[in-house]
Structure 1
């Protein structure tokens, strides 16, 4: 008889070793980085848009696990669906039958993009992108995929090949022979398409790195160019999809845009079970799966598993029932307008941009001599240090979790759970205002911390 496994007892006994265990057995640089910037917190539990430490202090989550926690943490409807699917003891992953849940989730997903017909389920955003790259190449018979400068589409070898950030690519060559084009540059796109070997353009309607939106009209014009040259448009909605920007998909902000392939993941999981999906047109799927001999030509061992499908169905139910797409739009408008009103007040604050609950706050060179000299010192050490100087006191003093929006960027990205409302907007804006007041006073703990970051940056050049 199998001995009972007591997870609660294990956590009670060994949970305090969390940072030491990571240092010994996982990525040893993560705990080191967290300790350096004072992010080495111990969160005991989480609910909705908040974390809680052992003393019961709440922390506002403006990061949502890089967008995974669209419904917040531990939504009761998703929890119940997972309990139900486990209790059902389904004959899952036999691989030689057709279970109902994948078909039901595909049907539900496709109602939000009626020009698409079929779905492939994998386990992550990067798998969704890999699927789209393979399908586009096979369907067009062409080898090359175009991507945009500063794009992020994942970190496996195929998705890394269309990653526009050199820091992620360095040392992992050779990659696939794909080509970057500037976001919004139709002339550059046309030049590449004229070479006749382009399968597709993959694009984030709003780039996660820096929160840069495709210019108005670009996606529609790019789609027309691509189709004229018999190439495909792939929309990477892994972070922007499922209501994040105030429409179900971010490409839907522009009329007439109908991508040939759409990648989703992150929030579809409900924060519990990894899931990714690639939605596409019928003719593309029919080319890839052209005969019974090719039925497994592209598959995933855990793809379409019952737990992931149940989580996805529950997520879509909650989104509709709680009107979360509308909430992302209205709450996002409130957050951006409150922050935009501060741009004229603070010379270090350069721009506030984004859509829905995907907001970028950019910092820039101040005008006053005293602040300019400090800004120059930070920039000389490493671009992005000022944004980090803002992120740290937001957590340490105000218990608000945010992130710098990419390496060497003076931008903070806000992607909170879609359930946040006016209360959370007030808390964030009040905290951000206090941090900006401190930065503009020219002294205080914030600039002292800046000196620590400068020393770290210089030491690791």
Structure 2
């Protein structure tokens, strides 16, 4: 009798129990939520920008695993690199040697931000943020970190301290000393800096929640103000980095911006292996690692592991060889212009914004009396329901996976794999147009589902 572990046999035997297993042993609210909104699909496989179910139906992924799948699923170059690194049987994670892969990946990453000098590798975006917070506080000798309203930087205790959404913070205090300032408000930033205890400002150049971009010139002006007060600028590029916005980093859309620390994660491993990176200036790293006694003062057990490093090197190679950044810019411009053209056609469509393949579609109060009354009913039950009402038929009718951009926001965020092109733009815009037609005609799946959501919102009060 064979005692070998057979993953294929296990999945064949138990795979149908996926929702029951999750409800019993993991976060029980997730399957409940998926059942409620009709997202309880069974996806059998994925490739590129698509999933397939057991019946062979394809689904267009406009979510990319919250931005992790920058190159889509199962890119052959990244996949081969992982097979190669496993077959190499490297002496990985000995902890008392220097393997080549971390240095090679750091070198490649830093080539895209030549004003930075060194890299710390961890395992996630929130770890990259935690590293930046620790390094900024130690390097400046100051305790307080500023962040922006509605920011999202992660959910561990340190990164939660710079999270601009109260729903994530409630019940987890006390957190680190912190203060929120409005995105783009230099006067508020200056007021806080004058208190003399600010180590850094951490900012997403384009916020993930709501897809709000820092105003033109703001990052450079903020950087000058911070440096005048001996504080640092931390750019959180966990979602916006690696080509997402049509430049390698989103801060590069503005001339003269050179953050002291940059956080990277998500798409760095092609979605295969957890990985995070904090890039920084030489003097900051030398202050933290100031002596041999402090060589492990900040470290991660799985940081710099061979699989993550090999995947990262493969991802950067693909990005260069396949001109991923330029493609994201072109496809993003096409998608944004096609959607912007619909604003005058649909009164429920308020705004289309973003850069590259990070686009926010915002809905707003309509003009006509009939639609205004329906909108008011939804808003009274729970803000954000209309955006959810659009997301559901996009999946149910058109097999397109999207997301609402944040709790209580009437915004859909599109962050597809960067390998999408004109056919995917056509498919999405055609589907979105049909859903908007349905919503403005006042019938069909959109408003039927709206009634279900209202009942659910009222029941949860």
TM-score (norm 1): 1.00
Shift of 1:153: 0.1
Shift of 1:3: 2.2
User: Cα deviations across residues 83-115 of structure 1 (Å, max 9, x unaligned)?
Assistant: 000000000000000000000000000000000
Structure 2 CA distance for aligned equivalents of residues 185 and 218 of structure 1: 8
Shift of 1:405: 0.1
3-state SS of 2:319 partner = helix
User: Cα deviations across residues 163-191 of structure 1 (Å, max 9, x unaligned)?
Assistant: 00000001111111111000000000000
User: Cα deviations across residues 122-146 of structure 1 (Å, max 9, x unaligned)?
Assistant: 0000000000000000000000000
3-state SS of 2:73 partner = coil
Structure 1 CA distance for aligned equivalents of residues 2 and 199 of structure 2: 53
Structure 2 CA distance for aligned equivalents of residues 27 and 210 of structure 1: 25
Shift of 1:230: 0.4
1:279 maps to: 279
Structure 2 CA distance for aligned equivalents of residues 15 and 131 of structure 1: 38
User: Cα deviations across residues 251-282 of structure 1 (Å, max 9, x unaligned)?
Assistant: 00000000000000000011100000000000
- 1:71 has 2:71 as partner: yes
User: Cα deviations across residues 197-223 of structure 1 (Å, max 9, x unaligned)?
Assistant: 000000000000000000000000000
Structure 1 CA distance for aligned equivalents of residues 460 and 186 of structure 2: 39
3-state SS of 2:379 partner = helix
2:190 maps to: 190
Structure 1 CA distance for aligned equivalents of residues 396 and 376 of structure 2: 25
Shift of 1:448: 1.2
Structure 2 CA distance for aligned equivalents of residues 50 and 405 of structure 1: 21
User: Cα deviations across residues 269-310 of structure 1 (Å, max 9, x unaligned)?
Assistant: 111000000000000000000000000000000000000000
Structure 2 CA distance for aligned equivalents of residues 144 and 257 of structure 1: 22
TM-score (norm 2): 1.00
User: Cα deviations across residues 24-70 of structure 1 (Å, max 9, x unaligned)?
Assistant: 00000000000000000000000000000001000000000000000
1:411 maps to: 411
3-state SS of 1:4 partner = coil
3-state SS of 2:192 partner = helix
Shift of 1:445: 2.1
User: Cα deviations across residues 394-436 of structure 1 (Å, max 9, x unaligned)?
Assistant: 0000000000000000000000000000000000000000000
3-state SS of 1:262 partner = strand
Structure 1 CA distance for aligned equivalents of residues 439 and 248 of structure 2: 37
1:311 maps to: 311
Structure 2 CA distance for aligned equivalents of residues 444 and 420 of structure 1: 30
Alignment of 1:5-20 (within 5 A): 5-20=5-20
The aligned length equals 461
Structure 1 CA distance for aligned equivalents of residues 3 and 55 of structure 2: 34
Structure 2 CA distance for aligned equivalents of residues 3 and 369 of structure 1: 69
1:355 maps to: 355
CA RMSD of aligned residues (A): 0.7
Shift of 1:2: 8.8
Q: Where in structure 2 are there 5+ consecutive unaligned residues? A: none
Q: Where in structure 1 are there 5+ consecutive unaligned residues? A: none
3-state SS of 2:283 partner = helix
